[in-house]
A = this chain, B = another copy of it.
Amino acid sequence: VALCVGDDGGRILAARRRPTEPSGDPVRDVARLAEDARALVAEAGLTLDAIDGVGVSLPGPLDPKAQRVVNPPNLPGWRDVPVRERLGEAIGRPVFLENDANAAALAEWRFGAGRGFESLVYLTLSTGLGGGIVHGGRLLRGRTWSAGEVGHLPLEWNGEPCACGLRGCAEAYLGGRAWARRLAHVTPRDSRVAALAGGRDAATPVHVVAAAREGDAFALAELDRWNDHLARVIAILAMSLDPEAVILGTIAAAAGEELVLAPVRERVRAHVWPRVADGLAIVPAALGERQPYYAGLCAALAGFGVLDEA
């Protein structure tokens, strides 16, 4: 859990981070969040009166009408929790929820790699594959707040099973957790990836990137396959949305220019119209470890309509 006190100019006045440690009881979890928030406001030298509102960036799916959390897989016991209401009661200020990929897209747009663009797609590329779409200067939320869930567009029709229950989802090929599951099967036991991970069962994208940096052939082939799937998702989004920028999150940002960004750009260019490829920025996320703070801040700013340029 990352908490901060900040303002609409992106100034962070106080920040802290702690393990999530879900208790299994969402009432207790929300009460603890409220305590942390009060303490952080005091640490920033402010009182709650000075706080306009609270933004919460959290895993979807969200219920758009009730502003509830709908059973996120990594928060046990959190089923249909009315976070907005509960946290609002505990803190006494307006609360705004945003799903984490959308909030991160807003954060990169306003304070990170997306500054100055009027339209962009942000891809989390972390353990899962979340996405957020900004178009015409505002977040594109969709009918059920599911717009930008490009991790679950069918990349391979009836392809690999995905954790979400569907088959062939982009996340089943690009999410870090799915990739680690694959690595546990396909990594040669005597490979550099297995050595770095201390056994192929523990191999993750981090080890693939590290081994690829050393020139390891298996790691390079795995990255090539991943880049290919990523280019495919970007090409689909480029021809559908024609955005100014595509911003790539964790794995791509960590792997960097030579291993991911340059080969992905080249592959996208070969699979979309030149007019769409020319001038399309494909860039790494810029906020790094600070992104969660800005994501929460942006959830609040979006709630107040401060980010809406439309």
A154 near B242 with CB under 8 A, answer no
- How far is the CB of A86 from the nearest CB of chain B, in Å? 22
Q: Which residue of B lies closest to A278 (CB)?
A: B144
A227 within 8 A of B: no
Distance in angstroms between the alpha carbons of A241 and B278 in the assembled complex = 24
A304 within 8 A of B: no
**Cβ contacts under 8 Å, A148 to chain B:** 240
A236 within 8 A of B: yes
- How far is the CB of A230 from the nearest CB of chain B, in Å? 12
**Cβ contacts under 8 Å, A154 to chain B:** 232, 235-236, 239, 271-272
A166 near B136 with CB under 8 A, answer no
Distance in angstroms between the alpha carbons of A144 and B143 in the assembled complex = 26
Interface of chain A, helix or strand or loop or mixed?
A: loop
A195 within 8 A of B: no
Q: Which residue of B lies closest to A63 (CB)?
A: B275
A279 near B143 with CB under 8 A, answer yes
Distance in angstroms between the alpha carbons of A133 and B242 in the assembled complex = 11
B146 near A239 with CB under 8 A, answer yes
A142 near B237 with CB under 8 A, answer no
B153 near A235 with CB under 8 A, answer yes
Distance in angstroms between the alpha carbons of A176 and B138 in the assembled complex = 36
A97 within 8 A of B: no
- How far is the CB of A78 from the nearest CB of chain B, in Å? 17
Task: Give A188-210 interface residues, CB cut-off 8 Å to B.
Answer: none
Distance in angstroms between the alpha carbons of A243 and B71 in the assembled complex = 23
26 residue pairs A–B, Cβ–Cβ below 8 Å: A133-B241, A136-B136, A136-B138, A136-B310, A140-B241, A141-B242, A142-B243, A144-B275, A144-B279, A145-B242, A146-B242, A146-B273, A148-B240, A149-B273, A153-B239, A154-B232, A154-B236, A154-B239, A157-B228, A157-B232, A157-B271, A166-B271, A166-B273, A236-B240, A237-B240, A240-B241
